Amino acid sequence: MVWLDSQQGNNMLKNHRMHYGVALGLSLLCAAASAGEGGGAHVMPGATATLADMPPTTPGTYIKPMYMNYNAGATAAIPTAAGITSDLDVTANTFAVVLVHSFENKVLGGANYSMAVALPFTSLDISGNVQLPNGGQVSRGNSVSGLGDLTILPVMLAWKRDAWTFNATLPIYAPTGSYELGRLGNPGLNYWTVDPTVGFVYATKKGFNSMLHIGYAMNSENNDTDYKSGSLLHVEATLEQIIPVGKGLMTFGVEAFYFDQLTGDSGAGATLGDFKGKTSGLGPLIGYIKPMGKQNLVLEAKWLNEMDTKNRVKGDIIWLKAVYKF
């Protein structure tokens, strides 16, 4: 994301010119909103590719609280921890706190190096019709709250060259969240995910930003269900404008996303075959950068609508994010 210290922010307001020291961002999020094996993934649309989602280019320690609301459903059969389930209805509310530290020394040709960790807490309501061995169905539902899967970023790199910033991150999702075999919905997914991601940012002096992030999430097997979800390509792109408003800066724009499972699901538990899923959509975003002493508080809100979905739950995603450097 674009991060400005207080003096930079004041200069921008005075001159209406935008000079970017891309500051903070994370391509990570909680595993919270997945309905099950083939119906979702650790990586959610909206987790990357906006001003609040870039690796730091200035040293220091950052805190990033995030909230996500996901309302979705699917009429077709979806594999879950309770079995093959149709007519799914999912509401997930997730709160996560992210801590980031960016080091003083640069590496690999001038890259800023950072590390991060995130721990989500999820409240999940889910219902659906679970298939029985005799071919019948039974209506099931549960409400559960608990910790989601821990996210670790041991590598966050950002190279800044004039108007361009290039970044690379390595989110790792660990199966530490609440999970119970036979439960229709779980805050945790019970498998590991490694998600190498690269990003490109172009920022003009007039406050226009264009961002593109591409990642490839690879999963381990869920040993409780003998189910291995296939690898997922995810692409997110954002166009965003910054303008002076009051004593701060307002941001507004649009984000689009495309998620495509490139390899099929596998394992003894994959009774529906490779079950490749995909989703795409877009939505608006708005934010505000408020000077606070020598630093800035960055706020962001966005709504994303899934428009074209296959073999996943489909719905609307609301994100609220804040970033502050100590």
The per-residue pLDDT for 167 is 95
Answer whether residue 62 shows pLDDT above 80.
Answer: yes
CA separation for the pair 243, 222 (Å, rounded):
47
Residue ranges of domains in the chain: 2-126+141-325
Residue 133: the pLDDT is 86
- Beta-bridged to residue 253, according to DSSP, are 240, 285
Query: For residues 323 and 99, what is the distance between their CA atoms, to the nearest angstrom?
Result: 10
Average pLDDT, the chain: 87
Q: What is the pLDDT of residues 126-150, one digit of tens each?
A: 999 999 988 889 999 989 999 999 9
With a CB cutoff of 8 Å and minimum separation 6, the contacts of 67 are 93, 94, 95, 96, 319, 320, 321
Candidate ranges 19-28, 42-51, 201-210; pick with highest mean pLDDT: 201-210
Query: Which range among 10-19, 50-59, 207-216 shows the weakest confidence by mean pLDDT?
Result: 10-19
- Complete DSSP assignment for 79-147: EETTEEEEEEEEEEEEEEEEEEEE-SS-BTTTBEEEEEEEEEEEEEEEEEEEEPTTS-EEEEEEEEEEE
State residue 4's pLDDT score: 44
Residue 309 pairs with which residues in a beta bridge? Answer: 279
The answer to whether the pTM exceeds 0.95 is no
CA 191, CA 12: separation in Å to the nearest integer?
A: 45
Q: Rounded distance, CA 32 to CA 91, Å?
A: 10
CATH topology of domain 2-126+141-325: Porin (2.40.160)
Q: Write down the pLDDT at residue 39.
A: 64
- What sign results for the dihedral spanned by CA atoms 233, 165, 52, 105? positive
